[in-house]
Amino acid sequence: MTPLYEGKAKRLWATSDPNVLRMEFKNDATAFNGEKKASFEDKGRLNNAISTLIYGMLEKEGVPTHFVRQIDETNVEVRKVEILMVEVIVRNLAAGSFCKRTGVEEGREFSRPIVEFSIKSDELGDPLVNDDYIRELDLASEADLAFLREAALKVNEILIRFFGECGLKLVDFKLEFGRLAEDPSQIVLADEISPDGCRLWDLKTGEKMDKDRFRRDLGNVMEAYAEVLDRVKKATGA
Ligand code: C5P
């Protein structure tokens, strides 16, 4: 069998239901748009476990998502969506490409969250774009963009509170959304929410507990992910 889609960290497989796919979490890790590659034993399991608990929590909070159920350690069932080619990044503190772009020191707190859009394109390196680019490139309608911004800010509020309960500061994160195959008028949260796509700092020590450990060769990458899972489990009562 060949997957319907293979990305850098996941594969999508067909199921007997045309509106449901199986999403498999791989152990592969990439950074800097695929320039840096590695594989970590257990990464797929850890990210699946973390993402599954967070999606369950978000659904309870009233956020519509693609999530259906966990199948096993590295697989979940998700509703089939057409992924929007716009990625949404929310930033609460300065880090990563924001610092590179602006020269601001890492860790500066913003007065309000920053919402950013980029084009989902490995070829182009996910370039940052504004509303006018998105309109002219026909990537999303103005109404869709307003919806994405509002949904991302709502998810941010929920995640800040949730990760706070885990003793973690939510620095920034990336979200992807998709149109449901069975009803394209509905846009839902898709992809994963894990330390691969969120920056999380320990509230007490400031220690990085996310993919920056891999990006910056800080070591103990999977130990940090396992610690995040432990705390997420406790916070969700799992
Ligand atoms: O690199 P940058 O600072 O723009 O990343 C912001 C946030 O979005 C980080 O949490 C990063 O992990 C996430 N991100 C991602 N996938 C991308 C780009 C950014 O998960 N393609």
In whole angstroms, give the CA distance from residue 174 to residue 96.
Answer: 12
For 137-163, write each residue's pLDDT tens digit: 999 999 999 999 999 999 999 999 999
204 and 133 in a single domain? The answer is: yes
In whole angstroms, give the CA distance from residue 192 to residue 200.
Answer: 15
For 177-222, write each residue's pLDDT tens digit: 999 999 999 999 999 999 999 999 999 999 999 999 999 999 999 9
pLDDT at 135: 96
Mean pLDDT of the chain, nearest integer: 97
CATH (domain of 44):
3.30.200.20
CA of 173 to the centre of ligand 1 (A): 6
Could you identify the atom of ligand 1 that is nearest to the CA of residue 89? 8
Give the 3-state secondary structure of residue 4: coil
Number of structural domains found in the chain:
2
For 97-144, write each residue's pLDDT tens digit: 999 999 999 999 999 999 999 999 999 999 999 999 999 999 999 999
161 and 102 in a single domain? The answer is: yes
CB neighbour list of residue 95: distance below 8 Å, 6 or more residues apart: 106, 107, 171, 172, 199, 212
CA of 11 to the centre of ligand 1 (A): 20
Amino acid symbol at 152 = A
Cα–Cα separations (whole angstroms), residue 79 to 35, 51, 135? 31, 15, 27
In whole angstroms, give the CA distance from residue 71 to residue 104.
Answer: 43
pLDDT at 32: 93
114 and 28 in a single domain? The answer is: no
202 and 99 in a single domain? The answer is: yes
In whole angstroms, give the CA distance from residue 97 to residue 172.
Answer: 11
69 and 173 in a single domain? The answer is: no
Contact assessment for residue 8 and residue 28, using Cβ atoms and an 8 Å cutoff: yes
pLDDT band at 79 (very low <50, low <70, confident <90, very high): very high
Residue bearing tokens 């069998």: 1
In whole angstroms, give the CA distance from residue 9 to residue 39.
Answer: 10
Which residues pair with residue 118 across a beta bridge? Answer: 87, 128
24 and 62 in a single domain? The answer is: yes
Residue minimizing CA distance to atom 4 of ligand 1: 97
CA of 193 to the centre of ligand 1 (A): 12
Residue 1 has pLDDT above 90, yes or no: no
Which residues pair with residue 89 across a beta bridge? Answer: 116, 174
Q: Is 233 inside any structural domain?
A: no
DSSP code per residue over 176-229: EEEEETTEEEEEEEES--STTTEEEEETTT--B-STHHHHTT-S-HHHHHHHHH
Give the residue numbers spanning the domain of 46. Answer: 5-80
Q: Which of 35, 58, 80 is the last residue of a domain?
A: 80
Residue 37 has pLDDT above 90, yes or no: yes
